[in-house]
Amino acid sequence: MAVVEAVKEASWLTGLVNELGVQQGGVQSHCASQSVIDVRFHKIRELIASGEILLQNIGTVENAADMLTKPVTTDKFKHCLDLLNVYSC
């Protein structure tokens, strides 16, 4: 559901930016499971098919959100912090 909300926001922001006269390419979004976009979200599927939204699958090794959504080892937690460029002082 989160990727659907993110795509809706990206689509709205793209429209706003286009109205301001700035042309840009497709919006890139990462998703751990592309199967989440089912038949209830036809508009999102259309945006992906047209290339306006570029949905990239992200494996669990490079998914920084794992540390917020499931139990992870200390090493995985530190790796997620590195992915987010969060460092201790």
Q: Residues near 42 by Cβ (< 8 Å), separated by ≥ 6?
A: none
pLDDT score of 74 = 92
Q: Which residue has the higher pLDDT, 13 or 79?
A: 79
Could you read off the pLDDT of 36-64 as tens digits, one per residue?
556 557 777 787 788 877 777 888 888 88
Angstrom CA distances, 72 to 37, 47, 57, 88, stand at 26, 34, 20, 19
**Could you give the residue ranges of the DSSP H alpha helices within the chain?**
2-19, 42-50, 66-69, 74-83
Name the most confidently modeled range: 22-31, 41-50, 70-79.
70-79
Q: Is the dihedral of CA 74, 79, 80, 85 positive or negative?
A: positive
